[in-house]
Structure formats: structure tokens, C-alpha cells
């Protein structure tokens, strides 16, 4: 089989906390978990972990239960990231549509503008 999944979730979160931890995450093909690549300014070594939804949930429960993270602040920060990402996507779509819109004289899109997106 050859296939491409176009509706996947992946992202980057950078410079969290005192260690300025950053991570890249991407969901698994079947959406039953995610791969997480972690790195920070203290460690030069990047670490990769793969966790199922249940494992991620258990870690979140343990972290909140032990008061390691403040759930309300995590919720606010994640909502902010989602809104910023949606806004960035809308701006990129608008730039694409503006660049692809035909010129009033030639009827052609702006290929230079499209190539810069």
C-alpha cells in the first residue's frame, strides 16, 4: 500500500520553563498515540519517546495529582497555541489566495508570490 495522511496533527512547542525545553510532537497514523522529540539548552542530547493515548493520560493525571503542573495554566496555554496556529493558518491561506488571484490584465496568478509561500 502507498498512502499519504493529510489530516494529521503535529507541532512544535519551544522554550518552556527554566531549562528552555522544546519539543516536536506528531500523532501516530491511527491516532492512538504520539511521538515526542524533546530537547533543551542543558542537554545536548535529544530524546524521543512514543506514548499511547492511555500513557499520555496517565502521565498527565500523575503530574496534576503531584502538583507538578497547574492544569488551569496548561489549559490556557494550550488554547493560546491553538488560536495562534489557527490565525497563522488563516493568514497563510489569505496570502495564498491573494497570490493565486488572477491579475486584472493578464488573468494569471503571481507565480513569484506563490513560490515565496
> How much is the pLDDT for 59?
95
**Residue carrying C-alpha cell 497563510:** 92
Whether pLDDT at 46 is above 70? yes
> How much is the pLDDT for 113?
61
109 and 82 in a common domain: yes
84 and 55 in a common domain: no
Q: Are 84 and 76 in contact (CB under 8 A)?
A: no
- Other Cβ atoms within 10 Å of 79 Cβ, number: 10
Total structural domains in the chain? Answer: 2
Q: Which range scores top for mean pLDDT: 13-22, 54-63, 71-80?
A: 54-63
Residue 52, CB half-sphere, CA atoms under 13 Å: how many?
Answer: 3
18 and 61 in a common domain: yes
Q: Which range marks the domain in which residue 32 is found? A: 1-69
> How much is the pLDDT for 67?
93
90 and 62 in a common domain: no
Amino acid at each position: 500500500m502507498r498512502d499519504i495522511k493529510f489530516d494529521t496533527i503535529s507541532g512544535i512547542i519551544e522554550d518552556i520553563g527554566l531549562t528552555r525545553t522544546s519539543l516536536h510532537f506528531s500523532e501516530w497514523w491511527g491516532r492512538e498515540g504520539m511521538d515526542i522529540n524533546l530537547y533543551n539548552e542543558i542537554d545536548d542530547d535529544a530524546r524521543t519517546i512514543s506514548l499511547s493515548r492511555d500513557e499520555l493520560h496517565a502521565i498527565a493525571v500523575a503530574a496534576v495529582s503531584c502538583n507538578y503542573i497547574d492544569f488551569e495554566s496548561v489549559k490556557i496555554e494550550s488554547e493560546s497555541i491553538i488560536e495562534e496556529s489557527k490565525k497563522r493558518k488563516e493568514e497563510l491561506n489569505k496570502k495564498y489566495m491573494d497570490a493565486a488571484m488572477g491579475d486584472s490584465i493578464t488573468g494569471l496568478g503571481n507565480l513569484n508570490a506563490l513560490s515565496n509561500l
